[in-house]
């Protein structure tokens, strides 16, 4: 694929350039020759990686950061209307481009695979990026997380395939025109943008409607994904491929054999059986890998080679990522913040832990999500031997009166969990050091800044 720049994006400015989705687009534009600048609230490994590429990154938000020759300003749905850089851009008549429109423009001329679903998008997109790269196909990709080092969430490749994480949270995935789309699951979430499951299904149907004629929809065996497949069955020019363990699946998972922190998967595809390793624990990750396999095959990538290449995937940051071991205690990090994700990761670690104890440090994400799903979050924590629950990480939201992490703590206690409230995040390393024993697994879990605690817990355990 030739390194072309979308019209008007030769000197873009990104507001919130350090975000997972935004930084990936900025990286690809930089690699294609654009003069990229942007701002973020604070420095991070991601902003450092962008600077190493030649991107200009300002810390803080100020009108002064917006260069006079800026050709467009790129924003995500998290950017508020009163952001001074956004206000200045509109006053000057600088075009404002949503992150999803920028990504859609970057995919023009490629063979896109768009990975969607309430959970598992980052992992499945990463599996495809790693395995297709291992086969020498050099795909472009844009992922909502880092594969191994900050800045590894995106790449401008020379191959024709472009793998992108497709975000349903703000309906932005409706902007893409994929040749292959994966829908892993469809569940209620993002309560600020969707009022009901009907609205969510309608949004996913619009996304499926953007698949190019003759393209393929790969669906997981989650009931919501299967319902979506039923809704769109019979659409002219659409191939539907069902993945799962049930006998009717087009790509059938015959066996998932856990081996500690990995699994061996046997799958039947096109009348042939393929056996490969998934180097992260849990059935849900095995299902993600098989969905990736089906998507690659839909783009004519040989199944046997792709299955073996999937074994080269060793994980992505914040998806059951081992942060280290100290005093005989393993510390692992998880991005899980929805009850389904929490349950899947906790079950995977329960299986991997055997007789060892599992201690969880959980930080709820968003007031609206806690209001709607706090009871289910608490029940999920009952899978752990002990839990420490922090205050809600607000992200882009203002507080909702009466909605606190106490909802989760009460639900966890009612489900029989050993749960402790901790309002001071700074105190957590000391609290965990007092709880953990040699052989335990400690899991930091949530979509906020709870991930910062892993290294600090390790340092405290070492002392």
Residue 166 within any structural domain of the chain: yes
- Beta bridge partners of residue 273, listed in sequence order: 268
Annotated catalytic, 122? yes
**Is residue 194 within 8 Å of residue 169, measured between CB atoms?**
no
Residue 30 within any structural domain of the chain: yes
Q: How far is 33 from 29, CA to CA, in rounded Å?
A: 6
The CATH number of the domain holding residue 375 is 3.90.190.20
Annotated catalytic, 165? yes
Annotated catalytic, 121? yes
Q: How far is 375 from 373, CA to CA, in rounded Å?
A: 6
**Is residue 31 within 8 Å of residue 106, measured between CB atoms?**
no
Residue 270 within any structural domain of the chain: yes
**Is residue 272 within 8 Å of residue 265, measured between CB atoms?**
no
Vertex 143: Cα angle to 279 and 48 (nearest 5): 105
pLDDT in tens, 397-438: 899 999 999 999 999 999 999 999 999 999 999 999 999 999
pLDDT at 431: 95
Residues 323 and 297 in one domain: no
Residues 171 and 90 in one domain: no
pLDDT in tens, 155-182: 999 999 999 999 887 788 999 999 999 9
In the set 85, 165, 187, 341, the catalytic residue is 165
Q: 54, 73, 97 — which closes off a domain?
A: 97
Q: 40, 73, 97 — which closes off a domain?
A: 97
Average the pLDDT over each of 40-44, 118-122, 356-360 and give the range with the smallest value: 118-122
Termini Cα distance of the chain: 52
pLDDT at 195: 61
**Which tokens hold the place of 283?**
């059935």
pLDDT in tens, 180-229: 999 999 986 655 666 687 888 899 999 999 999 999 999 999 999 999 99
Unique residue bearing structure tokens 């992150």: 99
Residues 389 and 245 in one domain: no
Residues 297 and 338 in one domain: no
- Binding annotation: 117-123
pLDDT at 191: 54
Report residue 148's pLDDT band, with 50, 70 and 90 as the boundaries: low
pLDDT at 150: 53
Q: 258, 287, 310 — which closes off a domain?
A: 310
Report residue 390's pLDDT band, with 50, 70 and 90 as the boundaries: very high
Reported as type and span, the H/E element at residue 275 is: strand 272-278
CA diameter of the chain:
64
Q: What is the mean pLDDT of the chain?
A: 92
- Binding annotation for ATP: 117-123
The CATH number of the domain holding residue 142 is 3.40.1190.10
In the set 55, 70, 71, 122, the catalytic residue is 122
How many other C-beta atoms lie within 10 A of the C-beta of residue 320?
24
pLDDT at 2: 44
| CA of residue 346 relative to chain centroid, distance | 17
pLDDT in tens, 222-256: 999 999 999 999 899 999 999 999 999 999 999 99
* β-strand pairing of 215-219 with 238-244: parallel
Identify the domain containing residue 439 by its residue range: 319-462
Residues 326 and 254 in one domain: no
Residues 335 and 251 in one domain: no
pLDDT at 313: 85
pLDDT in tens, 272-289: 999 999 988 788 889 999
Residue 105 within any structural domain of the chain: no
Q: How far is 286 from 256, CA to CA, in rounded Å?
A: 7
pLDDT at 3: 58
pLDDT at 1: 42
Query: For the chain, how many structural domains are there in total?
Result: 3
Residues 25 and 135 in one domain: no
In the set 27, 121, 175, 317, the catalytic residue is 121
Residues 368 and 246 in one domain: no
Residue 104 within any structural domain of the chain: no
Residues 363 and 422 in one domain: yes
Average pLDDT over residues 66-70: 97
Residues 390 and 356 in one domain: yes
Residues 148 and 38 in one domain: no
Residue 1 within any structural domain of the chain: no
pLDDT at 261: 76
pLDDT in tens, 80-118: 999 999 999 999 999 999 999 999 999 999 999 999 998
* 327 vs 396, residue with greater confidence: 327
SS3 label, residue 72: strand
Reported as type and span, the H/E element at residue 101 is: helix 99-107
Nearest alpha carbon to residue 345 among 441, 249, 275, 454: 441
Instruction: Enter the pTM of the model.
Output: 0.78
Residue 314 has pLDDT above 90, yes or no: no
Report residue 152's pLDDT band, with 50, 70 and 90 as the boundaries: confident
pLDDT in tens, 12-35: 999 999 988 899 999 999 999 999
């Amino acid at each position: 694929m030739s390194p072309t720049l979308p019209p008007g994006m030769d000197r873009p400015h990104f507001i919130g350039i350090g975000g997972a989705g935004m930084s990936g687009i900025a990286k690809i534009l930089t690699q294609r020759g654009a003069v990229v600048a942007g701002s973020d609230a604070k420095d991070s490994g991601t902003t450092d990686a962008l600077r190493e590429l030649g991107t200009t990154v300002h810390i803080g938000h100020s009108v002064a950061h917006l260069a006079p020759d800026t050709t467009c300003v790129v924003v995500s749905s998290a950017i508020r209307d009163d952001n001074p850089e956004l206000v200045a851009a509109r006053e000057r008549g600088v075009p404002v481009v949503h992150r999803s429109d920028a990504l859609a423009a970057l995919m023009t001329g490629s063979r896109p695979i768009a990975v969607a679903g309430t959970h598992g998008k980052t992992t499945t997109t990463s599996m495809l990026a790693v395995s297709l790269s291992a086969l020498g196909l050099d795909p472009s990709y844009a992922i909502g997380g880092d594969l191994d080092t900050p800045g590894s969430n995106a790449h401008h490749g020379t191959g024709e395939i472009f793998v992108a994480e497709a975000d349903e949270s703000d309906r932005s995935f409706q902007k893409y025109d994929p040749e292959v789309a994966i829908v892993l699951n469809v569940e209620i979430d993002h309560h600020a943008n969707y009022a009901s499951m009907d609205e969510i299904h309608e949004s996913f149907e619009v996304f499926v409607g953007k698949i190019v004629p003759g393209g393929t929809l790969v669906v997981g065996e989650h009931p919501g994904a299967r319902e979506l497949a039923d809704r769109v069955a019979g659409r002219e020019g659409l191939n539907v491929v069902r993945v799962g363990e049930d006998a009717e699946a087009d790509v059938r998972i015959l066996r998932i054999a856990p081996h500690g922190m990995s699994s061996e998967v046997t799958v039947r595809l096109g009348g042939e059986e393929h056996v490969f390793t998934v180097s992260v624990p849990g059935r849900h990750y095995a299902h993600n890998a098989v969905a990736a396999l089906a998507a690659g095959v839909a783009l004519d990538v040989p199944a046997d080679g792709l299955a073996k290449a999937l074994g080269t995937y060793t994980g992505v940051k914040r998806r059951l990522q081992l942060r280290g071991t100290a005093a005989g205690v393993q510390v692992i990090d998880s991005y899980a913040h929805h009850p389904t994700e929490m349950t899947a990761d906790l079950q995977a670690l329960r299986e991997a832990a055997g007789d060892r104890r599992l201690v969880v440090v959980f930080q709820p994400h968003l007031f609206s999500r806690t209001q709607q799903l706090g009871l289910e979050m608490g029940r999920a924590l009952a899978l752990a031997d002990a839990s420490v629950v922090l205050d809600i990480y607000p992200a882009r939201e203002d507080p909702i009166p009466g909605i606190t992490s106490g909802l989760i703590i009460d639900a966890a206690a009612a489900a029989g969990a050993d749960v402790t409230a901790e309002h001071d995040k700074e105190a957590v390393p000391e609290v965990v050091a007092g709880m953990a024993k040699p052989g335990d697994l400690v899991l930091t879990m949530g979509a906020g800044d709870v991930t910062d605690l892993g290294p600090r817990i390790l340092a405290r355990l070492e002392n």
